[in-house]
Amino acid sequence: MKRNAIWIAWEHHRRSVTIAAALGIPLIAPRARERSRLKRYAAGISNTFGALVRCRPAVVFCQNPSILLALLMVKLSFILRFKTIVDSHNNGVLPREGRSKTLALLAKFIHRYAHVTIVHNEALAPVVERNGGRPFVLPDKVPDIPAAAVRLRGPKNLLLITSWAADEPYEEALEAARLLGGAATVYAVGNYRKRRIDPSAAPANVVLTGYISDEEYFGLLRSVDAVVDLTKRDNCLLCGAYEGVGAGKPLVLSDTKTLRGYFDGGAVFTSNTAEDIARAMREVLEKKDSLSREIEALKARRGEEWERKKAALLSLAGLPDRAADARS
């Protein structure tokens, strides 16, 4: 069965799910996570070839990371004559922050020979251009968060969204919660065990949720007063921040040019020190009502912008905009 386009991903990521659905493109993603990296790659390659044989697409969107998937799609595009559009996360544009010459060369090849390289923000586009590629800036789509609610512990509650990764100031955020004291309860999502954090040593006002389902996560997101999402990266837009906007929640974000440029309403910005994060947490609670109104305005404005970008991307790919056709 021939399809105009498919989207292939080797890693589960909400961005791929959301954007593929918005574009009306079938997403082919792994069904199970193999423990062995070698087995994951073997399964990914097998599923990818199967999808190409079944669908015979004119356009293939793929997620980077995996850089191996993106490289495979670009090379196969010469043989099978399809357009490759690579959705490059930060690590796909600058693998290992540019510290690996080998990965940098692979990224350069992908950027140069992909039909289009999608980047998340304007700061990353010049990297693709220098590598001879054709960048297209497409932030995450502000998601529709299901209406759900859960009973929370405190009269004031914050949601700290973290993957406990090295590029996140999670230690400073926990210390900020300690400084906040009884002013709010801080729910910290994600698998904290991978950092060997002892729950008994966490501040009394912190709830370490561990891994939770999407349903539980959305319930927390809808029920808290504000969302805290922090990064040490300069050129990074945060999935949790988009989700906060989707839920209509004020934000506490790291003070970077990239985050200030996109989240230009409804957010309090902070340096990544415990003292300043605590200050921002207090401020977002004090100004909750006015910041919530700003977030709703931001959500509407960014939604309209995203629809325009979507139409432009489909045009670049040579694909129909069925949603626009249905409206006309």
pLDDT of residue 328: 47
136 phi, psi to nearest 5 deg: -140, 120
Residue 87 identity:
D
One domain for residues 273 and 165:
yes
One domain for residues 37 and 101:
yes
Domain end position, chosen among 90, 106, 138: 138
One domain for residues 27 and 90:
yes
Going by their DSSP bridges, the two strands 83-88 and 59-64 should be labelled as parallel
One domain for residues 53 and 172:
no
Return the bridge partners of 208, or none: 188
pLDDT of residue 133: 97
What is residue 56's three-state secondary structure?
coil
Contacts of 190 by beta carbon, 8 Å cutoff, 6+ apart: 161, 162, 163, 164, 209, 210, 211
Q: How confident is the model at residue 276 (pLDDT cuts 50, 70, 90)?
A: very high
DSSP 8-class letter at 227:
E
DSSP 8-class letter at 273:
S
pLDDT of residue 38: 85
In a domain, 327, yes or no: no
One domain for residues 165 and 132:
no
pLDDT above 80: residue 324: no
36-81 pLDDT, tens digit each: 778 888 889 999 999 999 999 999 999 999 999 999 999 999 999 9
As for how many domains the chain has, the answer is 2
How many angstroms separate the CA atoms of 44 and 23, rounded? 23
18 phi, psi to nearest 5 deg: -70, -45
Q: How confident is the model at residue 323 (pLDDT cuts 50, 70, 90)?
A: low
In a domain, 145, yes or no: no
One domain for residues 113 and 164:
no
Using an 8 Å Cβ cutoff, are 114 and 133 in contact? yes
How many angstroms separate the CA atoms of 216 and 315, rounded? 38
Work out the average pLDDT over 21-50: 85
The alpha carbon of 93 is separated from its chain's Cα centroid by a whole number of angstroms, namely 14
Instruction: Give the DSSP letter string of 263-317.
Output: --SSEEEE-SSHHHHHHHHHHHHHTHHHHHHHHHHHHHHHHHHHHHHHHHHHHHH
209-256 pLDDT, tens digit each: 999 999 999 999 999 999 999 999 998 999 999 999 999 999 999 999
pLDDT of residue 84: 98
**pTM: predicted TM-score of the whole model, two decimal places:** 0.89
One domain for residues 161 and 295:
yes
How many angstroms separate the CA atoms of 172 and 254, rounded? 12
One domain for residues 172 and 133:
no
Taking Cα atoms as reference points, which of 284, 282, 275 lies closest to residue 176? 275
In a domain, 30, yes or no: yes
Work out the average pLDDT over 306-325: 87
In a domain, 86, yes or no: yes
Q: How confident is the model at residue 14 (pLDDT cuts 50, 70, 90)?
A: confident
One domain for residues 167 and 247:
yes
One domain for residues 19 and 81:
yes
Question: To the nearest whole percent, how much of the chain has pLDDT over 70?
Answer: 95
One domain for residues 242 and 109:
no
In a domain, 317, yes or no: no
What is residue 117's three-state secondary structure?
strand
CATH code of the domain containing 286: 3.40.50.2000
One domain for residues 82 and 49:
yes
151-195 pLDDT, tens digit each: 999 899 999 999 999 999 999 999 999 999 999 999 999 999 988
In a domain, 242, yes or no: yes
In a domain, 309, yes or no: no
Q: Which domain holds residue 220?
A: 157-301
Question: To the nearest whole percent, how much of the chain has pLDDT over 90?
Answer: 82
How many angstroms separate the CA atoms of 44 and 87, rounded? 17
Please give the mean pLDDT across all residues of the chain: 93
Using an 8 Å Cβ cutoff, are 129 and 98 in contact? no
Angle at 97 between CA 120 and CA 17, to 5 degrees: 35
In a domain, 108, yes or no: yes
